Structure 1
Amino acid sequence: MVNSHADPMSGGLPAATPSGTPDLHARALAATVVPMGLFESRDAVLTAVWVNEAFERAVGYGLEGAHEREPAIRAELERDPVRAMQLAEALLAARPFTPTFTLGRADGSRFVCQVHLSPVPSDDAHDTPRYWVAAFQDMTEQLSHDAEQAALVEAERRERRSLGLIAQVSDLLMDVDDPHALREIAMVLRHAVVGWAGFFLNDRGLRAADGIDGGPGRGHRGDAFRTATRGPRPDAPDVVQLLLDGERDRPVDLALDAVYACGSASEWLAQHVSAQAQHPTDGQPAPSGGRAVVFPVPGRRRVLGLMAVVPRDEGGLRAIEPAAMTILELTARRVGLVLDNARLYDREHRLAETLQRAMLPEQAEVDGLDVWTYYAPNSENVQVGGDWYDVLQISPDVAGVVIGDVVGHDVEAAAAMGQLRSVVRSYTFDITTPGPVLERVDQLVTGMRIPRSAGLVLSTLTRREQGWRLEWSRAGHLPVLHVRDGVATELRDAGGALIGFGNGVRSTSTLDLVEGDVLVYYTDGLIERRDRGLREGLAALAGVASRITARDAAGIGEELLSRLADHPEDDVAVVVVRVPDPRDHLERARSPRRRRWSLPNEPSSIGRARHAVVRTCQAWEIPDAANAELVVSELVANAVLHGFGHVSLQLYDTGDGLRIEVEDGNPAPPVSTDGHPGRVGGFGMQIVERLADWGWRQSRGGKLVWAKVRPGSLPETGR
């Protein structure tokens, strides 16, 4: 309401005094570009009594319009009692106050306005100020700027969060051998962007996966969709199969409660996602969404699997924010890339190792000599190299032993090793004397242009009336170690250049062996380390060999490995040859009670394993060799019939019995055979249960079945 004493020409302000000063002030307030007004305070309520032209230009109305909108301001204060109390206290105390109001313009729009209120002193200093001057500040631009800055900050925060999540996923994918890597990635996604997440690999059918493995051929079988001829009529297409077939490369919605074709990929995945999402493994509450979003996990040539997520809110794809969608797509792609690389490397490695092991001979049984062989690729880096050995029965009285190393750790090195082995074997049967054999090998290798350098030691052992005679020639390889009566000697004679670099003449050296003599053939992986040079390694080998107490070749080899190759940094190949001593049974050796053999996956390995157990029990003076023979026969038979890959046989003397361990490449549990008469291993695991305590566990390469033979057990009758 306008003051009755105001001068209309001054815009509602009191009339000027004769001096003209108030009139100057009034004209100054009216001329300012800052929207301003004068308010009268009555019972802690402000009423407009004057506004300037800047105010009218800003809002589109004058004093009368301000009066019309005062009830809306009071209503706003009633909804905010804290601000209303602050305003009342400021009016009562006559102190400046800056509240914020939402004002309406004449066109109906609204804007946030900050009002700077200051009391106008009364003529009497003791009176409470009656009038308040107000300056209005439009906060629209400031708020827009603040909102823009806040949006930029939020966008940066989301981007950093996304980068952090991707980095976390990448770190988890660094350890491809972690059996729970995919499960941990799914938990990271669940805690950050979705309600639930899981991975499913496509290995001859879908299967839930916790980690990255070698893929098909490693014993995994998809437990996914099976075809069916009858079932309910589907009301939804098989979108999951379209992803698996590569016909769609973008994420798809999967309704978890829809009816899909019986036996389809979508039906299987919807059932498994529903079951797993409702029973999470991390203890978090399960999401209630009825739709999942399925992302393809792409490889180079095909879709390797799927990543399924359940959004935190209903709506499927629509419920996932763009930033979260980017995170999920990048995660699926990175998992696919790492999975593809891991499987490619695994295939190449298994190909090279299979090629290499196929070229390594079976351990020859040489009449009159105790021979033990061992080969293992680098266990730390899982590489494949060119280390190799060969044991030949050239004639009834002549045996040949070769050990060598081709430079490199790949398929080419393994192939070069195979070529060289075949050449050496062929010429050794034809010529026999080591020096001339290597001369012929030099000539042929030079013409074959084998791309890798190689070194080897070729030796022959000839039976004579007085014992055995050793002949050898070296081509750039480490010397054979000869041990007699606790004295180790390096056989450095008859040395020469690497194969293919000889000058045309290769010498041959000779040594007569006596009973109890030991020959150790080895590659550099047995003795070399980053912290130990070649000379120190040779000295360590001689020191260990001179103190060995074992009375058989296998025991000597095991002690060398336990002392020198517990953590090899390169491939290791070892051949131990011992001339038996009739006095061996008179003294019980204090050697490590462990033996190991690598056997091909074929029925003949069953007989070899039985023979190895019998010989070991005799060397260790362990009774019940017949029971151990039956147990190992059944374990190896199961590995041959139901497993794949090489079979590893290990024997341990536990002090109160014999422990047998058989490992193969199939991670599935042991399978009992049906016991048909005449069938290899026909008595199955029943006889193992009768004679031994046994169990099994997963291993890195498949499964390991163990059995501890009970002392005093009776063998199965009728065997």
Structure 2
Amino acid sequence: MPDAELTSALEAIRTGAYVVDEQGRILAVNSCAENMLGRAAGDLIGHDAHDLLHRGPQGQPLPATRCSMRQAFHAGLPAQGSDVHFVRADGSLVRISWVLTPYALHDGGAGTLVVFHDERTPSGEQRPGQGTEPLGELERLALLAETTTRLTSTLDVDEALRRLVSLVVPRLADWAVIDLITERDEVWRTAVVHAEGDTLVHREDLQGPMPPVPEQSPMPLSRALRGVASALAGPETYRRDPDSGIAVEQRRLFDATGIHSAAITPIRSTREVLGALTLGRAEKPGDFTVADLPLLEDIARRAGLALDNARLYQRQRKVAETMQNHLLPQMPQVPELQMTVRYLPAPDASQVGGDWYDAFALSDGATALVIGDVVGHDLEAAAGMAQLRNMLRAYAWGHQEPPSRIVERLDEAVMPITDVAMATVILARIARTGDGRWQLSWSNAGHPPPLLVTHDGLTHYLTDGHGLLLGTGVRTPRRDATIVLPPDCTLLLYTDGLIEAPGRTLDDGLEALRQHAAALAHRPLQSFTDQLLARVQPPGHDDVALLAVRTPPRGSVAPAQCR
């Protein structure tokens, strides 16, 4: 099936264009290419571009070893050429000029963008959607297409800025400067980057806070930061007496970098001015001209849309994380027990979720420990999580009953009282025994089993006391399990985001958790928790809630079945 997002991006290119995957198969094609080749998209998608299109001057099949486009494709570097023949659906040949460049696919894969122009078009004749631009225009269109796909495929502001810099340096300039306007209307020189060969070097000494934007200054950067216009600049532009603090900083920039020619343009979103992009040439020969500004403005316009989307996404994430953190409780102080918690939202989710942890004192002096997960990753899941947490607290406090009976009460109430479809939960109670040790009793409703880790690195998954998840409507007796915890051990309660990831089995995830927990057993509890998350957590597939409890180092009673 054609990729709708890719196809939409290619339609902005006013000449023939298609994208191939790492094997050279066509993934998407625009309508200009369809018209030039006399082939519908369905006859192109999925085919090897070389085998289908590339021919010799007399229409004969062209070996890949003699095809300049194919060789450039395998090199994986930007390239251009001419006098290549494509075969149309009717068997006629089209002699083309072409530009080829790596193209980042939205799913993270690597592709290649091919932009081509029919060299045989008679003077003055135009095909639908194509102008009579020279080869330089093809390069411009290829750069804009690459800019669009690379910047829109990330929702991280810093990553978008890194990609923007790598697109323009050293291709258009040897210096790139990005000034952004913060949410408090302050200006921050976010990036000053210089190309030294193939390496991009950040000049952090030139980055940092900038003076405020003057309201009337005619200087190029000040006008760009007000969204007025693009402009050219050079060292002489800022030799005159400065009219603002920004002009002083610009003089310092030109003096420090040796830039002899610069082009400056606003970075705008659909709603506001976000900053300014400056491209500078120091070692690179030639000066920017007015003819260069439209390309720079096109790049900055695409950058503005991408940055605005990334900022909105991060703002939503911040609100969501704040909501989630307020929903999650503070941990009680239990004498002699250490306790720590962590909550990590999935990086690819912009909403709160249903994972939660809890710990609270019970009416008989014991301490309740809870870990749970409401199905879903949205506000409804978060609301359901809050309902279940509060109900569980009330049942556990008001009824001095085993955990299994409290979980039964909660399950009975889920369907008639809450909006929760399904959820998993572990309710445990930890209390001191008469001989000074710590005893854990628990009941598990469909949740991943707790992990017990001794100070010496022995591990044991607590698989007893397991039953159905909440919300199934099936009423079966739930079971309790009890264990006396060894001294200086760590009990780990966690949600499935810690062990599940596409491409690996649940057993693989549990084994990885066990191995890393054993290796970290000697660490202080805070360090144990942080390092465990850093080593084990799958990259961004699900939320993770984690509750870790450590008993005091007394005695030496080893648990059964540890290994």
**TM-score bucket of the superposed structures, by smaller chain:** 0.5 to 0.7
Counterpart of 2:135 in structure 1 is 157
Counterpart of 2:426 in structure 1 is 457
Q: Distance in 2 between matches of 1:338 and 1:361?
A: 36
Counterpart of 1:524 in structure 2 is 496
The equivalences for 1:452-491 within 5 A come to: 453-466=422-435, 467-482=437-452, 486=458, 488-491=460-463
Task: Tell me, yes or no, if the aligned pair for 2:179 and 2:275 is still in contact at 8 Å.
Answer: yes
Q: Does 1:297 align with 2:279?
A: no
Q: Distance in 2 between matches of 1:536 and 1:183?
A: 40
Number of matched pairs: 405
The one-letter amino acid paired with 2:424 is G
The equivalences for 1:344-423 within 5 A come to: 344-378=312-346, 385-395=353-363, 397-410=365-378, 413-423=381-391
Q: Does 1:201 align with 2:180?
A: yes
Q: In the superposition, relative to structure 1, how do residues 413 and 153 fare at CA in structure 2: closer, same or farther (>3 Å)?
A: closer
Q: Does 1:493 align with 2:465?
A: yes
Q: Distance in 2 between matches of 1:546 and 1:294?
A: 56
Task: Tell me, yes or no, if the aligned pair for 1:294 and 1:308 is still in contact at 8 Å.
Answer: yes
The equivalences for 1:170-209 within 5 A come to: 170=148, 173=151, 176=156, 177-178=158-159, 180-188=162-170, 190-191=172-173, 198-203=177-182, 204-209=185-190
The secondary structure found in structure 2 opposite 1:199 is strand
The secondary structure found in structure 2 opposite 1:582 is coil
CA drift of 1:553 comes to 5.5
Q: Distance in 1 between matches of 2:513 and 2:495?
A: 12
Task: Tell me, yes or no, if the aligned pair for 1:352 and 1:414 is still in contact at 8 Å.
Answer: no
The secondary structure found in structure 2 opposite 1:286 is coil
Q: Distance in 1 between matches of 2:427 and 2:192?
A: 46
The secondary structure found in structure 1 opposite 2:367 is strand
Q: In the superposition, relative to structure 1, how do residues 305 and 450 fare at CA in structure 2: closer, same or farther (>3 Å)?
A: farther
Q: In the superposition, relative to structure 1, how do residues 514 and 278 fare at CA in structure 2: closer, same or farther (>3 Å)?
A: closer
Q: Distance in 1 between matches of 2:413 and 2:511?
A: 35
The one-letter amino acid paired with 1:366 is V
CA drift of 1:162 comes to 0.7
Task: Give the number of the structure with larger relative contact order, counting CA–CA contacts within 8 Å between residues 6 or more apart.
Answer: 2
Task: Tell me, yes or no, if the aligned pair for 1:423 and 1:441 is still in contact at 8 Å.
Answer: yes
Task: Tell me, yes or no, if the aligned pair for 1:186 and 1:198 is still in contact at 8 Å.
Answer: no
CA drift of 1:569 comes to 5.1
Q: In the superposition, relative to structure 1, how do residues 269 and 293 fare at CA in structure 2: closer, same or farther (>3 Å)?
A: farther
CA drift of 1:301 comes to 1.9
Task: Tell me, yes or no, if the aligned pair for 1:390 and 1:402 is still in contact at 8 Å.
Answer: yes
The one-letter amino acid paired with 1:532 is R
The secondary structure found in structure 2 opposite 1:583 is coil
Q: Distance in 1 between matches of 2:490 and 2:445?
A: 22
CA drift of 1:530 comes to 3.6
Q: Distance in 1 between matches of 2:535 and 2:405?
A: 36
The one-letter amino acid paired with 2:552 is P
Q: Does 1:329 align with 2:308?
A: no
Q: Does 1:287 align with 2:269?
A: no
CA drift of 1:559 comes to 7.7
The one-letter amino acid paired with 2:179 is F
Q: Distance in 1 between matches of 2:521 and 2:425?
A: 28
Q: In the superposition, relative to structure 1, how do residues 184 and 435 fare at CA in structure 2: closer, same or farther (>3 Å)?
A: same
Q: Distance in 2 between matches of 1:452 and 1:222?
A: 50
The equivalences for 1:191-230 within 5 A come to: 191=173, 198-203=177-182, 204-210=185-191, 222-225=209-212
Q: Does 1:509 align with 2:474?
A: no
Could you give the per-residue CA deviations for residues 658-680 of structure 1, whole angstroms, max 9, x where no partner exists? Answer: xxxxxxxxxxxxxxxxxxxxxxx
The secondary structure found in structure 2 opposite 1:346 is helix
CA drift of 1:522 comes to 1.9
Counterpart of 1:535 in structure 2 is 507
The one-letter amino acid paired with 2:260 is P
Structure 1 gaps, min length 5: 1-144, 213-219, 229-233, 586-719
The secondary structure found in structure 2 opposite 1:455 is strand
The secondary structure found in structure 2 opposite 1:397 is coil
Q: Distance in 2 between matches of 1:153 and 1:561?
A: 55
Q: Distance in 2 between matches of 1:211 and 1:557?
A: 37
CA drift of 1:226 comes to 7.2
Q: Distance in 2 between matches of 1:202 and 1:518?
A: 47
RMSD: 4.8
CA drift of 1:299 comes to 1.5
Counterpart of 1:574 in structure 2 is 546
Could you give the per-residue CA deviations for residues 411-469 of structure 1, whole angstroms, max 9, x where no partner exists? Answer: 55445434433333343333353344334444554356536643111112233424444
Q: Distance in 2 between matches of 1:350 and 1:574?
A: 20
Task: Tell me, yes or no, if the aligned pair for 2:220 and 2:230 is still in contact at 8 Å.
Answer: no
Counterpart of 1:256 in structure 2 is 237
The equivalences for 1:313-328 within 5 A come to: 319-321=289-291, 324-328=292-296
Structure 2 gaps, min length 5: 1-120, 194-206, 558-563
Q: Distance in 2 between matches of 1:414 and 1:432?
A: 28
The one-letter amino acid paired with 1:276 is L
| TM-score normalized by the length of structure 1 | 0.47
The equivalences for 1:546-695 within 5 A come to: 550=522, 564-565=536-537, 570-583=542-555
CA drift of 1:524 comes to 1.8
The secondary structure found in structure 2 opposite 1:491 is coil
Q: Distance in 2 between matches of 1:570 and 1:298?
A: 33
Q: Distance in 2 between matches of 1:543 and 1:185?
A: 42
Q: In the superposition, relative to structure 1, how do residues 373 and 277 fare at CA in structure 2: closer, same or farther (>3 Å)?
A: same
Q: In the superposition, relative to structure 1, how do residues 422 and 202 fare at CA in structure 2: closer, same or farther (>3 Å)?
A: same
